[in-house]
Amino acid sequence: MNKNNPPLTLDQLRDGQRVRGIVPNQTVTIKHVDRLDDVTAEVIYCDEAGHYSPVILTPDRLARVEIVTESGDIPAFDGNADDFRLVAEALRITYAARHDPMVAVNSSDVDPLPHQIRAVYEELLPRVPLRFLLADDPGAGKTIMAGLYLKELILRSSCERAIIVVPGGLVEQWRDELAQKFDLHFEVFNATSDDSTGKNPFEAHPYLIVRMDQIARNDRLMRLLEQVKWDVAIVDEAHRMAAHYSLWAGEINATKRFKLGQLLSETAHNFLLMTATPHSGKEEDFQSFMSLLDRDRFEGQYRQGIHRTDTKGLMRRMVKEDLLTLDGRPLFPERRAYTVPYELSRAERDLYEQVSDYVRDEMGKADAIQDGKRRNNVGFALMVLQRRLASSPEAILRSLERRKAKLRRSQREYDAPNDYDSAVSETNWAELEQQVDEVVDRATAAQDQVQLTHEIAVLDGLIATARRVRNQDEDRKWVELRKILESKVLTGTNGENRKIIIFTEHRDTLTYLEDKITTQLGSTDAVVTIHGGTPRHLRQAIREQFAHDPRTLVLLATDAAGEGLNLQRAHLMVNYDLPWNPNRIEQRFGRIHRIGQREVCHLWNLVAHNTREGDVFNRLLEKIEVMSEAYNGNLFNVLGDTDSFDGRPLKDLLIEAIRYGDQPETRQWLDKVIDASVSKGLDELRAKRALSEDIFSSRELDQVRNTMRDAEERKLQPGFIRSFFIPAFKRLRGLIDKRESGCYKVTYVPPLLRDIASRQYECVTFDVDYKHPAGTHHDAALIAPGHPLLDAVLVRTTEDLKPTLAQGTIFVDRSSKQLATPALLYIVEQRITAGGDKDTLYHHFDYLLVPQDGDTNVNVPNNGGVTVTTTPPFLDYDTPKEEERAIIQNLMRDPMLRSWLRKDHGRTVTLWATREGIQPRMKELEQQRRRETQRVWDQVENRLTTEINYWERMISELRYQERNGHANQRLGSKDAAAKVADLEQRLELRKREKEQASWLNAGTPLIRGVALVIPGHLIDAHSAPNAKKQAATFAKETQEVERRAVEAALAAERALGRVPEEMPRNNPGFDIRSTDPADPLAHRYYLEVKGRIAGSNTFTITNSEINFAQNHKDTHRLVLVSVHPDGPEFDEVRYVMHAFDDMEASMSTHSRNEKWSHYWGQGGAPV
């Protein structure tokens, strides 16, 4: 407290005052004073973070309180101007998302597409709290959307704890992609180290990726997870959490995965589910799945005609065909599939019939086995043998040899996988392939030693036949593949090499093909392979080789390569073996037909003609081809979703064909089922596409483009971040040196920052374009919002310099756009919250410039001369020179200026921010919330009321049965009554929540800082005789020259066919925004106009102009206009591209003079 001032009394306290001494090191605003007695009062105050709190002021506490701004006082304005800039920018960057609406995009190594922008910024972020299902088609980039959503929440300080639940095979992919693309570092939960700290492992890690089944199947881990709250929970492949209703009680038969989903729904504030297959074809299962997002909205088992399906506000589904690029072209290229039938040679036919007979005979024996587990194992082994027969002579020969050897040594049984064809990605592929081999090699239907000896003898004959076929080298299937490879598909029209992926189901076939293709192409470098036993790090290396080595043309893979590998470098694919689950075909094709693919994708399916399973495939593929136009190439996916063939999976039809395909009635039945299933699949496809499907119209695409362009104008990266970080880091004694273009080396990080950041950084950049430096093996660290080093500098700068904001400072405005009189610059923060201040719906910073010659009545037109910007003007202001301080003090002695400074401008600014900022936004948000909550309430009320009525009827029926001695043993009237009571209680709770949901809280706008801005011409006017008159003349001439220059630039833009829009005179960064109506990408061009009388030597550029130009690169133009004294018709215009790329704007250099002739020489005709 200032000892020169008398102690405060309660009578002096009033609402709206800003005071120190209530909260340490903070200036707070008094909201309400309630006198308890003559010397004590309860005061409600608002702190600098916008939080309201009460405090009791006794005489002792009151003695420490000091009024900061009181009408009649003149602020000191004695803070250091450079420090003011640094801390004000630290505040802006800390709350980057308030200024840069797409800060996650601009600080990440991604180039998001329109549907991804729309999902994150129009669907996910506005929903607070979030309960949502993102169900876009495969390959739409849902991981990118999740990463953007997470980073936005983290940068908005709305996510301190997040958990991501994924299938086990995808954890590393998620971890790597979040780190590489978004600089988000998540820990992978490890079962071997979860007890290492002795604490709850979920509590110990704020950002965690977990394997779905590892948690769901472990009761202890589920109990530990239940104890932890999360700001965000995301589930990938969420359809695995689907559940079914039991038939007898109408209750969900919850799987362990479903229970995990329920737990996350209860413990996460924001809950996001992601899957490309949300609907299995059964509406009741879909609604039980959706109950994870809203239990009350989907309460009870779905009953057609009684319940309705309305997923609006809960779900978004976009299909590949509707996804567009920014220029309106289809995102995914065309894809074409071809069936390649081939006839078996005589030797191959003989082998096929012998092995098929063996399989049929052994299946018949297996039917008689009483032990169900053993019967299943034998059936599974025989099915795989038949598939290996179709794969290659090598695969069936090796399988028969191993089977014979193992049957001789042991009769031990092994468990077969539950479903080889739909084995989930969570299964370790190496373990799966080994498990399959063990079962195929050992499972036998032989009941005794005699039968076993007979089977081994049969195998001897089969092995001899298979060896002859293999040695004769008459593999017709390989011949067809060789024809494809020889048909110049691997050579482009310009002679460039093309790449192809060949899928097989069996390791033996993979090795067999590797030898043959290597020989065919004449190079060991031409072929690479991936299978279940390939370690993950080698998989990535192989992928990189296949993608980037021009010598490598062929990738041979089992379905292990389909897990998490994006292979759009190729656009050609062969299914050497067709999987017995059609969905697998779609999964394989999805490896190349995904975002980033620019070529038409081609797929060849090799099918043996006149074989039992081959005939089934031929019929299916032929039917699909007929309907290909209607299905748009997605029918495989639809058929694989459910038991699509008369309630049975495709593999059952194939087994039927193998066992009974010689019978005419069986062949007719198979044809009938296939034809009917494909036709039914078309109807189901149309129905599923109608399920909450979003269509991307041209109008919506325009809206997304405009949203992205608006955000680009306000982005901080790279210019503003760099110009803050370097001086702020050096102020803290850090050392940073510029190296090659765009990159820097941090050679020393001071100890006070090391709790968060590393000791040094070999290579950092502020521009995402330089994140992958040429000629190096390491990426540069992107210094952007969210990076630990930038975060550490922001925290320390704010802690050190925050008092400077309240203290105030003085700036000098020397720009060509300076005001006529001094002005006060206010930094104003506005905030709207919901959910008891837990959820921030609106948080904004404005910079208000209040001129001395303006009318501060906000009710007058144009806000009484108050200028509002979202970019801080102080970046272009100078710190007063030492010799100017005396002149400024002289100016401040002026009675009119002193009288004006004594006015309570803070009250005016607060009123403006309330009327023009908070209130309109509050009204808009309240209307949105009210509409949404009412719509949700209508659905909840309808559903719960329907269920209450249903269970009340059940009570009557059950009581009647009980009175007549026919009580239901599983469900009694008391159970039904308890159900009704629970539903009624939930209905009442949702009603109260509905009433609370539309209540929003608007905090009083906070003034975070104030500065006095002195126009440079006033200082010049006091510095020399006749300077005042000269300054006035110069200002007038400058204004005329600038007007001529702007008019010339506008005319040049119109001549180019663009539509220019002149910005307000004080617009920071650029003078003209111009658009081209013919540009499908709707680019905006930004023009900074500099006009000078012909023969001038210099022109001035500011920090904001340099930063803005560097942020916008190709779309920025420096427009130089040489203004001729003889009139506008003689004016010359030149455009300079990338004018300031090599400059480094910083906090210590706010404007600079550049040589006119240098830039004039670089310029050219308008472009």
Higher pLDDT, 1065 or 962: 962
On average, the pLDDT of the chain sits at 80
Looking at the structure, do residues 228 and 239 belong to the same domain, yes or no? Answer: yes
User: 392 near 400, Cβ under 8 Å?
Assistant: no
According to the 3-state scheme, what is the secondary structure of 1071-1134?
CEEEECCCCCCCCEEEEEEEEEECCCCEEEEEHHHHHHHHHHHHHEEEEEEEECCCCHHHCEEE
pLDDT at 308 over 60: yes
Determine the pLDDT at residue 10. Answer: 85
Task: Give the pLDDT band (50/70/90) at residue 1025.
Answer: low
Looking at the structure, do residues 181 and 269 belong to the same domain, yes or no? Answer: yes
Mean pLDDT score, 332-345: 85
Q: Which of 270-279, 306-315, 814-823 has the lowest mean pLDDT?
A: 306-315
Sheet holding 1059-1062, edge to edge: 1059-1062, 1072-1075, 1084-1093, 1116-1123, 1132-1137
Determine the pLDDT at residue 71. Answer: 47
Mean pLDDT score, 1129-1140: 93
Q: Distance from CA of residue 1075 to its chain's centroid?
A: 29
Higher pLDDT, 101 or 398: 398
Residue 762, domain member (yes or no): yes
CATH of the domain at 1104: 3.40.1350
pLDDT at 875 over 60: yes
Looking at the structure, do residues 771 and 862 belong to the same domain, yes or no? Answer: no
Domain finish residue from 602, 635, 663: 602
CATH of the domain at 552: 3.40.50.300
Task: Give the pLDDT band (50/70/90) at residue 420.
Answer: very low
Q: Give SS3 for 635.
A: helix
Residue 396, domain member (yes or no): no
C-alpha to C-alpha distance for 637 and 527, rounded to whole angstroms: 29
pLDDT at 905 over 90: no
Torsion of CA 430, 433, 437, 439, to 10 degrees: 110
Residue 159, domain member (yes or no): yes
Higher pLDDT, 562 or 626: 626
- Return the top range by mean pLDDT from 163-167, 313-317, 608-612, 825-829: 163-167
Looking at the structure, do residues 968 and 1074 belong to the same domain, yes or no? Answer: no
Which residues are CB-neighbours of 1062 under 8 A, at least 6 positions away? Answer: 1046, 1050, 1071, 1072
Tell me if the bond preceding 129 is cis, omega within 30° of 0. yes
pLDDT at 172 over 70: yes
Mean pLDDT score, 62-75: 69
Determine the pLDDT at residue 168. Answer: 83
C-alpha to C-alpha distance for 947 and 221, rounded to whole angstroms: 34
Q: Which of 74-78, 119-123, 164-168, 499-503 has the lowest mean pLDDT?
A: 74-78
Determine the pLDDT at residue 673. Answer: 67
Q: Within 15-167, where are the H helices?
A: 59-62, 81-94, 96-99, 103-106, 114-118, 142-155
Question: What Rg value do the Cα atoms of the chain yield, rounded?
Answer: 36
Looking at the structure, do residues 1001 and 1082 belong to the same domain, yes or no? Answer: no
Determine the pLDDT at residue 550. Answer: 85
The percentage of residues in the chain with a pLDDT greater than 90, rounded to a whole number, is: 20
The pairing of beta strand 207-211 with beta strand 162-166: parallel
Determine the pLDDT at residue 1052. Answer: 95
Q: Which of 642-646, 748-752, 1083-1087 has the lowest mean pLDDT?
A: 642-646
Determine the pLDDT at residue 674. Answer: 63
pLDDT tens across 804-849, in order? Answer: 988 899 999 887 778 888 999 999 888 888 866 677 888 878 888 8
Looking at the structure, do residues 291 and 147 belong to the same domain, yes or no? Answer: yes
Q: Which of 429-443, 462-476, 1032-1046, 1049-1063 has the lowest mean pLDDT?
A: 429-443
416 exposure class (CB count in 10 Å sphere: 0-12, 13-18, 19+): buried
Which of 747, 753, 745 is CA-nearest to residue 728? 753
Looking at the structure, do residues 1030 and 915 belong to the same domain, yes or no? Answer: no
pLDDT at 1142 over 50: yes
Task: Give the pLDDT band (50/70/90) at residue 309.
Answer: low
* Tokens, residue 388: 């290996």
pLDDT tens across 759-813, in order? Answer: 778 888 888 888 877 666 677 888 888 888 998 999 999 999 988 988 899 999 8
Domain finish residue from 1015, 1037, 1065: 1015
Residue 670, domain member (yes or no): no
Looking at the structure, do residues 922 and 962 belong to the same domain, yes or no? Answer: yes
User: 432 near 439, Cβ under 8 Å?
Assistant: no
* Tokens, residue 1004: 């009083």
Angle at 585 between CA 582 and CA 586, to 5 degrees: 100
Q: Residue 136 carries which DSSP code?
A: P
Higher pLDDT, 172 or 582: 172
Mean pLDDT score, 224-250: 83
pLDDT at 186 over 60: yes
Domain finish residue from 264, 285, 317: 317
Q: Which domain holds residue 515?
A: 474-602
Residue 1057, domain member (yes or no): yes
* Tokens, residue 1009: 């800082």
Determine the pLDDT at residue 545. Answer: 87
Residue 584, domain member (yes or no): yes
Q: Which of 32-46, 414-428, 1144-1158 has the lowest mean pLDDT?
A: 414-428
Mean pLDDT score, 661-689: 62
Higher pLDDT, 416 or 40: 40
Looking at the structure, do residues 46 and 81 belong to the same domain, yes or no? Answer: no
Task: Give the pLDDT band (50/70/90) at residue 246.
Answer: low
The pairing of beta strand 207-211 with beta strand 252-253: unpaired
Containing H/E element for 32? strand 27-35
Looking at the structure, do residues 797 and 837 belong to the same domain, yes or no? Answer: no
Task: Give the pLDDT band (50/70/90) at residue 1005.
Answer: confident
Mean pLDDT score, 17-43: 85
User: 344 near 476, Cβ under 8 Å?
Assistant: yes
Q: Give SS3 for 694.
A: coil
Task: Give the pLDDT band (50/70/90) at residue 859.
Answer: very low
Q: How many domains does the chain have?
A: 6
Higher pLDDT, 867 or 340: 340
Determine the pLDDT at residue 830. Answer: 85
CATH of the domain at 23: 2.30.30
Mean pLDDT score, 1062-1066: 80
Looking at the structure, do residues 57 and 113 belong to the same domain, yes or no? Answer: no
Q: Which residues of 1073-1109 are buried (b: 16+ CB within 10 A; e: fewer)?
A: bbbbeeeeebbbbbbbbbbbeeeeeebebbbbbbbbb
Tell me if the bond preceding 718 is cis, omega within 30° of 0. yes
pLDDT at 987 over 60: yes
Determine the pLDDT at residue 150. Answer: 94
- Return the top range by mean pLDDT from 10-19, 386-395, 625-634, 708-717: 386-395
Which of 93, 21, 98 is CA-nearest to residue 797? 93
Residues forming beta bridges with residue 794, ordered by sequence position: none
pLDDT at 430 over 60: no
Higher pLDDT, 110 or 583: 110
Residue 427, domain member (yes or no): no
Looking at the structure, do residues 902 and 852 belong to the same domain, yes or no? Answer: yes
C-alpha to C-alpha distance for 278 and 282, rounded to whole angstroms: 10
pLDDT at 910 over 50: yes
Q: Residue 304 carries which DSSP code?
A: B
pLDDT at 50 over 90: no
CATH of the domain at 163: 3.40.50.10810
649 exposure class (CB count in 10 Å sphere: 0-12, 13-18, 19+): buried
Q: Which of 424-438, 440-454, 971-985 has the lowest mean pLDDT?
A: 424-438
What is the crossing angle of helices 346-367 and 449-472, to 10°?
Answer: 160
Q: What's the pTM value of the predicted model, to 2 decimals?
A: 0.73
Determine the pLDDT at residue 474. Answer: 81
Task: Give the pLDDT band (50/70/90) at residue 1028.
Answer: low
User: 671 near 656, Cβ under 8 Å?
Assistant: no
Provide the 10 A C-beta neighbour count for residue 498.
16
Determine the pLDDT at residue 1101. Answer: 86
pLDDT at 133 over 50: yes
pLDDT tens across 912-950, in order? Answer: 888 888 888 888 888 888 887 887 888 788 788 888 888
C-alpha to C-alpha distance for 24 and 1054, rounded to whole angstroms: 58
Residue 713, domain member (yes or no): no
Cα end-to-end span (Å), the chain: 61
